[in-house]
Amino acid sequence: MGDWVTTAQVAAAASVSPGTVLRWAKMGVLPAPEIHFGGARGRMARWPVHAPAQAAWVHQQLEAHMSWDEIRAALARGEFRPA
């Protein structure tokens, strides 16, 4: 991976849809992507390189039946640490 990753890469890491990844970012459990406009290619979201690992971590917390508030609190406490 380079300096950023795509929405598809973030979604694949957590086995969720790209729409879910964007929703999670709006909910504050993933970092906000940078939106770039590429002319004929349209808009493109660029995510920090740690976003796939964070998305996988969020998915694991949901599988463990944590609530969104509990996940946000865990993130605030630093329980997810990017590699």
Mean per-residue pLDDT over the chain, rounded = 93
Is 13 inside a domain boundary?
yes
| Three-state SS at 17 | coil
Strand ranges in the chain using DSSP code E only, listed in sequence order: 34-37, 43-46
The predicted structure's pLDDT at residue 14: 97
Is 82 inside a domain boundary?
no
| pTM, 2 dp | 0.89
Is 83 inside a domain boundary?
no
The predicted structure's pLDDT at residue 42: 77
Is 62 inside a domain boundary?
yes
Q: Residue 39 maps to which CATH number?
A: 1.10.1660
Is 46 inside a domain boundary?
yes
35-46: pLDDT as tens digits: 888 766 678 889
Region 14-40: mean pLDDT is 92
Expressed as residue numbers, the domain containing 24 is 7-76
Backbone torsion region of residue 7, taken as left when φ is above 0, otherwise alpha when ψ lies between -120 and 50, otherwise beta:
alpha
Is 1 inside a domain boundary?
no
Please count the structural domains in the chain: 1
Is 24 inside a domain boundary?
yes
